[in-house]
Amino acid sequence: MKFFFVLSFRSLFMLVFVIGLIVLMILTPRAKADELRGRAWYANHPTIMRQVLAACRDDPGHIGMSPDCQNARAGEVLEASNMASRVLSPTSAQYWRVHPEWIKPQLQVCSHMRGDEPSYSWCIAARSVGR
């Protein structure tokens, strides 16, 4: 009789455990296709990207290799390349349009330069906007 009770209790425990796991799997929310955060999404949301990256660096063993962490890292690279492409060169007129307060001091420096100096191309671009 005692053996039957122990066997029943173990079986009941296993049954409850398995049912609990099944219910947990059913109720666990899954990311929908439109909720996935790709690298472009992270590049456009830098605050959230930095929070995710901090969490990924804090727990690299568990979540560090998750798709979300990989996408956040790729978004960080994309954001950096986007920023690098927005950097203007002083040899372009656009640079001097963005920084008009620097034209006058640059033209004063240019008045003391020869045309064969490497940075003289800055003078040409600054003059084209300063007129």
Q: Containing domain of residue 126, as a range?
A: 93-130
User: What pLDDT, on a 0 to 100 scale, did the predictor assign at position 124?
Assistant: 86
Q: Residues 128, 100: contact at Cβ < 8 Å?
A: no
- Our CA angle for 28, 30, 60, nearest 5°, is 90
User: What pLDDT, on a 0 to 100 scale, did the predictor assign at position 116?
Assistant: 80
Our count of domains for the chain comes to: 2
Q: Which residue has the higher pLDDT, 88 or 70?
A: 70
Q: In this structure, is residue 62 part of a structural domain?
A: yes
Range with the poorest average pLDDT among 1-5, 35-39, 57-61, 64-68: 1-5
Q: In this structure, is residue 8 part of a structural domain?
A: no
